[in-house]
Structure 1
Amino acid sequence: MPLTGHCLCKAVTYSVDVDEPAVTAYDHCDDCQRQSGSTYSLVAVVPKDKLTIKGPIKSYAGTGSSGKKVHRLFCSECGSPIAHDPEAAPEIIALKAGTFEREIKKNLKPDTEIWTASKLPFCQENLPHAFKHMPE
């Protein structure tokens, strides 16, 4: 069964032709904190070539730690973040897992934390696989 989701206003929908994400992680990077307005962003890494997005998407490109662009995709209508797409890893895309359909996100099992170098000191989450920056 594909992974599906949508933005807050449902103008943007997506489907990923996989049964589950390759990785489900808490992303503690400063950009994700700002985009989510929270201590981290729950992301689900999937193969980019399996993703289909429909609807009015806008993109903001910032420079990642690799020196390459990271494209942050969001709904142009409601502003919901949908994904971040790093040029440094062109085969994957990190969907904002809070945008998955309710039953899908209820069954996610995050086990990885990335960018713990930016983890806020009051965040008490400690997952089994933690990386100071991006995993190699």
Structure 2
Amino acid sequence: MGLSGHCLCGAVKYTVDAEPLIVAYDHCDDCQRQSGSTYSLVVVVPKDKLKIDGTTKSFAGKGSSGNAVHRVFCPECGSPIAHDPDAAPEIIAVKAGTLSTEDKKKLKPDTEIWTISKLPFCQEHLEKPFKNMPE
């Protein structure tokens, strides 16, 4: 299948030559702040299958593991593209809102993570949520 997407201004484009490992509603506080919303829908893929074209910038914050989480974004329009956790170097979480329209329509979220930070007015999405990250 593969996936493709781009930032708001089109300066950053990407392709993923793999199926998603998980599609998750991510309720962590950092994703809320980065997205400016109540959660971020992420598509976790093998990092070595993601190809980014265009210049990106990143901001490194500290994850719950104590390791850095690099938040990759377009320096022109500010669109968040992915978050890249040092604690799990084999994966990267692409921000689902940046996927092509066709790819977004095909998504089937299967995981809900960081519900410990879930805002009280948010509806339940899935039956078996994870308070933090799945093991």
Same fold (TM over 0.5): yes
Identity of aligned residues (%): 76
Does structure 1 residue 83 correspond to structure 2 residue 88?
no
More displaced stretch, 122-131 vs 96-105:
122-131
Shift of 1:2: 2.1
| Residue 6 (structure 2) aligns with | 6
Partner amino acid, structure 2, of 1:58: K
The superposition leaves residues 57-84 of structure 1 with CA deviations (integer Å, 9 ceiling, x where unpaired) of 0000000000000000000100000000
| Residue 52 (structure 1) aligns with | 51
Q: Secondary structure at the match of 2:116?
A: helix
Which segments of 5 or more consecutive residues in structure 1 lack a partner in the other structure? none
TM-score by length of 1: 0.97
Q: Secondary structure at the match of 1:25?
A: strand
| Residue 15 (structure 1) aligns with | 15
Which segments of 5 or more consecutive residues in structure 2 lack a partner in the other structure? none
Shift of 1:128: 3.1
| Residue 40 (structure 1) aligns with | 39
CA distance in 2, matches of 1:50, 1:59: 19
Partner amino acid, structure 1, of 2:66: G
TM-score by length of 2: 0.97
| Maintained 8 Å contact 1:111/1:128 | no
Q: How many residues align?
A: 135
CA distance in 2, matches of 1:86, 1:129: 23
Q: Secondary structure at the match of 2:81?
A: strand
| Residue 125 (structure 1) aligns with | 124
CA distance in 1, matches of 2:106, 2:15: 17
CA distance in 1, matches of 2:127, 2:48: 28
CA distance in 2, matches of 1:131, 1:44: 16
Give the ranges of 4+ consecutive aligned residues of structure 1 lying more than 6 Å apart after TM superposition: none
